[in-house]
A and B are shown apart, each in its own frame.
Chain A
Amino acid sequence: MTKPKVFEKPTGVKDYLPHAVAKLRRIERSVLECMRLWGYEQIITPALEYYDTVGMASSTSDQKLFKLLDRRGTSIVLRSDMTAPIARVVGSLLKDEAFPIRLSYHGNVFRAFEEEGGRDSEFYQTGVELVGDASPEADAEMIALAVASLKAAGVPAFKIAMGHVGFLNGLFEETLPGLVGEQETLKACLLQRDHVGYRDAIRKLSLDAAWKRELEDILRLRGGQEVCAQALELSSNEGARAAIRHLCDVWDVLEAYGIQEHVLIDLTMIGDFSYYTGMTFEGYASHLGFPVCSGGRYDNLLSQFGRPAHATGFALKTTRILEVVEDAAEERERTLVAYEGPQRQAALAKANRLREQGEIVVTALVSASELEELRASHQEGHASGSGISYRGRTYEKLVSFEDGKDDLA
Chain B
Amino acid sequence: MTDSGTLKVAMPKGRIYKQASKLFRQAGLPIPEDFDDSRKLIIPVPEANMEFIMAKPVDVPTYVEYGVADIGIVGKDVLMEENKDVYELLDLGIAKCRMSVIGLPDWKPVIHPRVATKYANVASQYFREQGQQVEVIKLNGSIELAPLIGLADRIVDMVETGQTLKENGLVEMETLFQVTSRLIANRVSYRLKNSAIQELCDRLGAIIGAPV
Contacts and interface: CB of A to CB of B under 8 A. Distances in A.
30 contacts: A117-B85, A118-B65, A159-B191, A159-B192, A193-B85, A194-B88, A195-B87, A195-B90, A196-B91, A197-B88, A199-B91, A199-B211, A216-B211, A219-B212, A220-B212, A264-B191, A284-B188, A285-B188, A286-B1, A286-B2, A286-B3, A287-B2, A288-B67, A288-B188, A289-B65, A289-B68, A289-B188, A289-B189, A290-B187, A291-B187
Contact of A193 (B66, B67, B88, B189): B88
Contacts of A219: 212
A288 B189 CA distance: 9
A8 interface: no
B194 A222 contact: yes
B86 interface: yes
Contacts of A159: 191-192
A289 B84 CA distance: 13
A115 interface: no
B212 to A, nearest CB: 8
B117 interface: no
B124 interface: no
Nearest to A158: B192
A158 to B, nearest CB: 9
Residue in A161, A287, A289 whose Cβ sees the most chain B Cβ within 10 Å = A289
A328 interface: no
Interface SS, A side: mixed
A116 interface: yes
Contacts of B90: 195-196
Contact of B186 (A117, A213, A264, A289): A289
B96 to A, nearest CB: 14
B191 A289 contact: no
Contacts of A44: none
Chain A interface extent, by class:
20 to 34
Contacts of A139: none
Nearest to B76: A196
Closest 9 CB pairs of A and B: A289-B67, A284-B188, A193-B87, A194-B88, A196-B91, A289-B66, A286-B3, A196-B88, A284-B191
Interface in A113-164: 116-118, 157, 159, 161
Chain B interface extent, by class:
20 to 34
Contact of A289 (B187, B198, B212): B187
Interface string B73-109: 0000000000011111111000000000000000000
Nearest to A195: B89
Interface in B48-72: 62, 65-68
B182 interface: yes
Interface in B126-160: none
A284 B212 CA distance: 24
B188 A291 contact: yes
Contacts of B3: 157, 286-287
B179 to A, nearest CB: 12
A118 B211 contact: no
B38 to A, nearest CB: 26
A138 B211 CA distance: 38
Nearest to B82: A116
Contacts of B65: 117-118, 289
Interface in B163-211: 182, 186-189, 191-192, 194, 198, 210-211
A222 B89 CA distance: 15
Interface string A218-231: 01101000000000
A286 B66 CA distance: 12
A197 B177 CA distance: 12
A266 interface: yes
B188 A290 contact: yes
A381 to B, nearest CB: 41
Interface string B1-34: 1110000000000000000000000000000000
B65 to A, nearest CB: 6
Nearest to A289: B67
B191 A196 contact: no
Residue in B66, B187, B188, B189 whose Cβ sees the most chain A Cβ within 10 Å = B188
Given A286-B1, A288-B1, A289-B189, 5 more contacts: A161-B191, A194-B88, A216-B211, A289-B188, A290-B188
Nearest to B87: A193
Contacts of B2: 286-287
Given A286-B1, A286-B3, A196 B182 contact: yes
A126 to B, nearest CB: 20
Interface in A189-228: 193-197, 199, 213, 216, 219-220, 222
Contacts of B191: 159, 161, 264, 266, 284
A114 to B, nearest CB: 9
